[in-house]
Amino acid sequence: MTPHEIDDIRRLRVMAAAVRGAQVVERTLPAPFEEVWPAMCTLDFLPDLRRTRLLRSDGDRIELLARSKYGFRARLRGYRRPGWCWLQSRFLLVGLAAVPVPGGTRIALTGGVRVPTRAAVIPFGTASELEAAATRLTSRVAP
């Protein structure tokens, strides 16, 4: 990485900083990036999501249909590449990042319910949901 580049976790922090109410949860997992990132891409570790279905993929642009455990649906559009994923719909935001570090993989998560027409998420319960997601992911990839 050159001095002018930022890694994907810093990029996620920058993106989240532009969204009012967004929080970022970070952890270092004791598993290699090659195991962690595919597990993150499924999104099934997110507590509110019951299932997702890929609708379109064109290079690093993707579109999926997500259904929550409460029956709500969201058409998420965004970008995904190794170590980076940013998806949003009218009412939902999901941001994921991962970078290899000595002894494992550093991850960062952000997201929540969006305030329509604004760069904002509803801050109530967001931190606990992100912590729960990080814990679920850790339990799936930890040795």
Which DSSP string corresponds to 63-122? EEEEEETTS-EEEEEEEEETTEEEEE-SSEEEEEEEEEETTEEEEEEEEEEB-TTSSBB-
Report pLDDT for 3.
58
Closest CA to 137 of 106, 114, 113: 106
Question: For 100, what's the count of Cα atoms within 13 Å in the CB-facing half-sphere?
Answer: 7
Summarised one tens digit per residue, pLDDT across range 9-65 is 999 999 999 998 889 999 999 999 999 999 999 888 988 888 888 999 999 999 999
Q: What does the alpha-carbon distance between residue 98 and residue 47 come to, in Å, rounded to a whole number?
A: 19
Q: pTM value? A: 0.89
